[in-house]
Amino acid sequence: MVLDATTPKSYAYLLSHLSKALIEQAESEVYSKAEAAFLLARVVLGWIQRGHAALSDIFDAHAVLKEC
């Protein structure tokens, strides 16, 4: 499912919440063990490859917001 005007708001909310949780997990784990970044990246890519393409847009947006 792609993120557009027809995307259900509940689905977009769940992807947003998942993105926030994954980024927080990455922040806490990667500081202690850098190899954890690759495992978390595999999780995100797995979700995207399984048909949740909207996760890519939402995850990227949350990652950019964390950098600012």
Total tally of structural domains belonging to the chain: 1
Q: Are the C-beta atoms of 24 and 34 separated by less than 8 Å? A: no
pLDDT of residue 68: 61
Residue at 4 is within a domain: no
Question: Does the pLDDT value for residue 66 go beyond 80?
Answer: no
Residue at 50 is within a domain: yes
Residue at 59 is within a domain: yes
pLDDT digits (tens, 9 = 90+) for 16-56: 999 999 999 888 888 888 888 898 899 999 999 999 999 99
Residue at 13 is within a domain: yes
Residue at 48 is within a domain: yes
Give the residue numbers spanning the domain of 47. Answer: 9-67
Question: Does the pLDDT value for residue 10 go beyond 90?
Answer: yes
pTM exceeding 0.75: yes
Residue at 25 is within a domain: yes
Question: Does the pLDDT value for residue 13 go beyond 70?
Answer: yes
Tokens read off for 41: 């990246």
Residue at 1 is within a domain: no
Residue at 31 is within a domain: yes
Torsion sign (Cα): 10, 65, 32, 36 = positive
